[in-house]
Amino acid sequence: KAGVTQTPRYLIKTRGQQVTLSCSPISGHRSVSWYQQTPGQGLQFLFEYFSETQRNKGNFPGRFSGRQFSNSRSEMNVSTLELGDSALYLCASSPRTGNEKLFFGSGTQLSVL
């Protein structure tokens, strides 16, 4: 079974731009969660989607948004990028909602210049 696939692997943007990251979950998994990982703050929960509905949301500003498609693939979008948004963005999938036994992708490394 293929694992969680995230694209692109690396991304460089400038302040003020917007970015869209993509995640394909493990086949059969309907829950997709997004996390931000930085050296200073560690792993922080962004949001979770299940059956195309946002089920849970972390404490991030409205510039961070996401969606899930009918095939369970998910995208997250960050608008008006700030330098502090530079991070590794990780997507994780699970067969059910509830944020247990998450299977992570390798992440998208975003650098904001």
Partner 1 sequence: GESVGLHLPTLSVQEGDNSIINCAYSNSASDYFIWYKQESGKGPQFIIDIRSNMDKRQGQRVTVLLNKTVKHLSLQIAATQPGDSAVYFCAEKAAGNKLTFGGGTRVLVKP
Q: Using the rule CB under 8 A, is 87 a contact of partner 1?
A: no
Comparison of 66 and 107: residue with beta carbon closer to partner 1? 107
Q: How far is residue 73's CA from residue 22's CA, in Å, rounded to a whole number?
A: 8
Q: What dihedral angle (degrees, nearest 10) is formed by the CA atoms of 97, 98, 103, 104?
A: 100
Amino acid found at 63? R
Q: Using the rule CB under 8 A, is 104 a contact of partner 1?
A: yes
**Count of residues touching partner 1 (by CB under 8 A):** 25
Single residue of 81, 90, 110, 112 touching partner 1 by CB under 8 A: 90
Q: How far is the CB of 19 from partner 1 (least distance, A)?
A: 19
Comparison of 58 and 75: residue with beta carbon closer to partner 1? 58
Which residue in this structure is represented by tokens 């849970």? 56
**C-alpha 12: how far from chain center:** 16
Pairing of strands 10-13, 108-112: parallel
Footprint on residues 7-66 left by partner 1 (CB under 8 A): 39-45, 48, 55-56, 58
Of residues 82, 89, 86, the one with CA closest to residue 21: 89
Single residue of 16, 61, 95, 98 touching partner 1 by CB under 8 A: 98
Q: Which residues bind partner 1 (CB under 8 A)?
A: 4, 39-45, 48, 55-56, 58, 90, 92, 97-107
